[in-house]
Structure 1
């Protein structure tokens, strides 16, 4: 179905609310859900009338337990027939447990009857698996960009905060989703209202779709200490082939001594130690939340050998990466068994 901007403009002019269906899967992030719902709530408050009206659905119509263990009640089950202006699909961990063939078939059918269909965080994987993104540009959370691209070779995967390609939108995480909702409000209801909504949340840096997803959220460091911010961004770009501190300093056109002072004053850590910690943090997420082989994780995070990676990981987290992955999987299995047990 061709994206019908005139339809939405007419609805706004008539003061009819923009009709939204939000589908949330178990093990999603409460921040991603809030980044969808709260901008719409705030827009209604600022406008003094319901400019958005939404329904919250789940795959089975039952309450959804998020990663923080909070159950979220829903208005019903996600199944055809459904139509509206916006269809937003929020996914988190273990998608294959929570969204099977029936869910994907419902997504394919319902997507035809909405003007915008958006995949939030891991929701982009569901849009990809359903074939809705074929031949389009899309993004995913920065931890999953490479796997997302390999899984869906027919897509153009880019590391932007969020991506809009026709009626299909994708977002790389909770904060980018907030940016995406502000972008939507600005397009449909005007930039002044979007600015008012951002101000309610004291959100003082509205991002464009093409802003790149960072590994590290620097906040005000970028404005207060641009050389330090530049060093951290360079570290992010070179995780697979880490540079020496001296090489970092040369690339940044500052002395090694100045680079060391920047890190000591702002972060109370040496640049080398921070670099290693950054690589291990990325590795830790991949160990816990993916099935990527340990050797591949080691290479992605700049370790020449699996043994060197294991030693550094054990020093940082108190257990080997294999033991950490095993413990995490056991905990997930216990949680799943508990949720399936009769009351």
Structure 2
């Protein structure tokens, strides 16, 4: 390792370490944070000098617990940041309740300095709630995409693994933080260093901001049939105004009967049933993650009436949308 470390060419300003301030929200997701931090540590190790420094902040300045139950001692409360610092907000479970008035005020105040502000996983929600992503491109974990799009119409939400938009940077969660940090390292000190860090991490396929955050349809469903994939992509893109099986079939050049057989053979359900499950999954996400009324959730998922929506929801999830919303609020997940 020593010989490899000495052989890496490092470009850029090597005299003053770039400081990252990780702001940990309670119940933050561990993997995105630890992956991002280790990229910085390995960059320092590989270069043989301190290219980066970091500290942990959070509301209260004492300790914070991640969603896996592990506690981290913080270096400071939400404090003053330097104009050259980079702030990264780390979110996770129940980000809505963790986005407090104090946090929002602090984010807005520090962002006015023009510093680079970023987020990992659901931390994007807090940045958007603070207005820091208005008219910016951003990304968030795929499970929160539906609710985010409904709530933040001024943010250009993408399906990329990470996005750098001016002085804002967002990563979708999981290993996407690796890709974001490797991109930053390459920009700061050269691609050779970034590639060396990736090698140390045994990370063999670095993704760019053009890569999607979800697996392809064939990989997700375990079936590699081009026309089936096309139909499912059309279904996913048309939830609010569902397309009929006959239109879907026509658009991929087959009959409705052929489409029925295709779904039965590979997915053991009819196209209509599969489509309904997609719509109900989006509805559940909106119920669990937003304050949208049940009626508006129904309309956003292509149901003409609340009664029909409730009937379909109960048949699939064995509970009503109203009870689902009530149980979520009882758990503090509003």
- TM-score tier, shorter chain, comes to 0.7 to 0.9
Shift of 1:262: 4.8
Once the two structures are superposed, what CA deviation does each residue of 1:19-56 show, in whole Å capped at 9, x if it has no partner? 21110111333344345334444545665665443222
Give the number of the structure with larger relative contact order, counting CA–CA contacts within 8 Å between residues 6 or more apart. Answer: 2
Task: Look up the match of 2:184.
Answer: 184
User: Given the alignment of the two structures, is residue 328 of structure 1 paired with residue 328 of structure 2, yes or no?
Assistant: yes
Residue segments in structure 1 that go unaligned for 5+ positions in a row: 1-7, 337-343
SS at match of 2:303: coil
SS at match of 2:332: helix
Shift of 1:318: 1.4
| Structure 1 pair 205–9 and aligned structure 2 pair: CA distance change class (3 A) | closer
Task: Look up the match of 1:340.
Answer: none
Task: Look up the match of 2:28.
Answer: 28
Q: How do residues 113-124 of structure 1 correspond to structure 2 at under 5 angstroms?
A: 115-124=115-124
SS at match of 1:89: strand
Q: Which moved more, 1:225-234 or 1:282-291?
A: 225-234
Once the two structures are superposed, what CA deviation does each residue of 1:235-292 show, in whole Å capped at 9, x if it has no partner? 1101112223332222122454554555455544443332222211111111122211
- 8 Å CA contact 2:183–2:194 kept in 1: the answer is yes
Task: Look up the match of 1:231.
Answer: 231
**TM-score of the aligned structures, taking structure 2 as reference length:** 0.78
Task: Look up the match of 1:65.
Answer: 65
User: Given the alignment of the two structures, is residue 244 of structure 1 paired with residue 260 of structure 2, yes or no?
Assistant: no
- 8 Å CA contact 1:215–1:236 kept in 2: the answer is no
| Structure 1 pair 284–156 and aligned structure 2 pair: CA distance change class (3 A) | closer
- 8 Å CA contact 1:85–1:114 kept in 2: the answer is no
- 8 Å CA contact 2:32–2:176 kept in 1: the answer is no
Mapped partners of 1:238, 1:328: distance in 2: 27
Mapped partners of 2:260, 2:74: distance in 1: 52
Alignment: residue pair count: 321
| Structure 1 pair 222–325 and aligned structure 2 pair: CA distance change class (3 A) | same
| Structure 1 pair 241–134 and aligned structure 2 pair: CA distance change class (3 A) | closer
Runs of 4+ aligned residues of structure 1 deviating over 6 Å after TM superposition are 220-223
Task: Look up the match of 1:169.
Answer: 169
Task: Look up the match of 1:80.
Answer: 80
Q: How do residues 194-233 of structure 1 correspond to structure 2 at under 5 angstroms?
A: 194-195=194-195, 197-198=197-198, 206-211=206-211, 219=219, 224-233=224-233
Shift of 1:295: 1.1
- 8 Å CA contact 2:164–2:170 kept in 1: the answer is yes
Mapped partners of 1:226, 1:202: distance in 2: 32
Shift of 1:64: 1.9
Mapped partners of 2:40, 2:225: distance in 1: 34
What value does the CA root-mean-square deviation take over the aligned residues?
Answer: 3.6
User: Given the alignment of the two structures, is residue 301 of structure 1 paired with residue 324 of structure 2, yes or no?
Assistant: no
Task: Look up the match of 1:146.
Answer: 149
Task: Look up the match of 1:108.
Answer: 108
- 8 Å CA contact 1:85–1:116 kept in 2: the answer is yes
| Structure 1 pair 44–165 and aligned structure 2 pair: CA distance change class (3 A) | same
Task: Look up the match of 1:275.
Answer: 275
**TM-score of the aligned structures, taking structure 1 as reference length:** 0.76
- 8 Å CA contact 2:217–2:232 kept in 1: the answer is no
Once the two structures are superposed, what CA deviation does each residue of 1:211-248 show, in whole Å capped at 9, x if it has no partner? 56559776477995443332222111011122233322
Q: Which moved more, 1:170-179 or 1:84-93?
A: 170-179
Shift of 1:88: 0.5
